[in-house]
Structure 1
Amino acid sequence: MQGSIGVFDSGYGGLTVLKEIVAKLPQYDYIYLGDNSRSPYGNRSFNTVYHYTLQCVEWFFRQGCPLVILACNTASAKALRTIQQNDLPRMAPDKRVLGVIRPTTEVVGQYTKSKKVGVLATNGTVQSNSYVIEINKFYPDVQVIQEACPMWVPLVENNEHEGHGADFFIKKNIHQLLKKEPLIDTILLACTHYPLLIKKITEYTPVDITILSQGKIVANSLADYLKRHNEMETRLSKNGQKIFYTTDSTADFDKHAAAFYGRPVSAIHTDLS
Structure 2
Amino acid sequence: MSMLREAPIGVFDSGIGGLTVAREIMRQIPQERIVYFGDTARLPYGSKSRNTIIRYSRQIVRFLRTRQVKAIVVACNTASAYALDTLQQESDIPIIGVVKPGARMAAEESPGGNIGVIGTAGTVGSHIYRDYICSLRPDAQVFEKACPLFVPLVEEGWRKDPVTETVARRYLEEMIERKVDTLILGCTHYPLLRSTVRGIMGEKVILVNPAYETAIELKELLKRENIENQGHNKTDENPYEFFVSDEAERFRAFADSILPVDITAARQIQIEEY
Equivalent in the alignment of 1:37: 41
CA offset at residue 66 of structure 1? Answer: 2.1
* Alignment of structure 1 residues 23-172 onto 2, 5 Å: 23-85=27-89, 87-88=90-91, 93=92, 95-172=93-170
CA offset at residue 263 of structure 1? Answer: 4.7
Kindly provide the CA deviation profile for residues 109-150 of structure 1, in whole angstroms up to 9, marking residues without a partner as x: 121111110011111110111101111222222121111111
Equivalent in the alignment of 1:8: 12
Amino acid at match of 1:8: F
Bigger Cα displacement from structure 2, 6-15 vs 137-146: 137-146
Contact persistence 1:13–1:260 (CA under 8 A): no
CA offset at residue 207 of structure 1? Answer: 2.4
Pick aligned residue for 1:202 from 198, 203, 215: 198
Looking at structure 2, the residues matched to 202 and 34 of structure 1 have their Cα atoms a distance apart, in angstroms, of 27
CA offset at residue 236 of structure 1? Answer: 10
TM-score for both structures, normalised by structure 1: 0.91
Local SS of the residue matching 1:233? coil
Contact persistence 1:29–1:238 (CA under 8 A): no
CA offset at residue 228 of structure 1? Answer: 1.9
CA offset at residue 235 of structure 1? Answer: 11
Contact persistence 1:161–1:197 (CA under 8 A): yes
CA offset at residue 238 of structure 1? Answer: 6.1
TM-score for both structures, normalised by structure 2: 0.91
Is there any run of 5+ residues in structure 2 with no aligned partner, and where? Answer: none
* Alignment of structure 1 residues 183-262 onto 2, 5 Å: 184-230=180-226, 232-233=227-228, 239=234, 241-262=239-260
Contact persistence 1:156–1:196 (CA under 8 A): yes
Percent identity (aligned): 33
Evaluate the alpha carbon distance shift between residue 49 and residue 260 of structure 1 in structure 2; reply closer, same or farther with a 3 A threshold.
farther
Bigger Cα displacement from structure 2, 116-125 vs 208-217: 208-217
Local SS of the residue matching 2:242? strand
Evaluate the alpha carbon distance shift between residue 234 and residue 171 of structure 1 in structure 2; reply closer, same or farther with a 3 A threshold.
closer
Contact persistence 2:105–2:208 (CA under 8 A): no
Contact persistence 1:123–1:148 (CA under 8 A): yes
Contact persistence 1:106–1:135 (CA under 8 A): yes
Contact persistence 1:28–1:238 (CA under 8 A): no
Evaluate the alpha carbon distance shift between residue 226 and residue 202 of structure 1 in structure 2; reply closer, same or farther with a 3 A threshold.
same
CA offset at residue 196 of structure 1? Answer: 1.5
CA offset at residue 237 of structure 1? Answer: 9.9
Local SS of the residue matching 1:244? strand
Contact persistence 2:176–2:201 (CA under 8 A): no
Structural RMSD (CA): 1.9
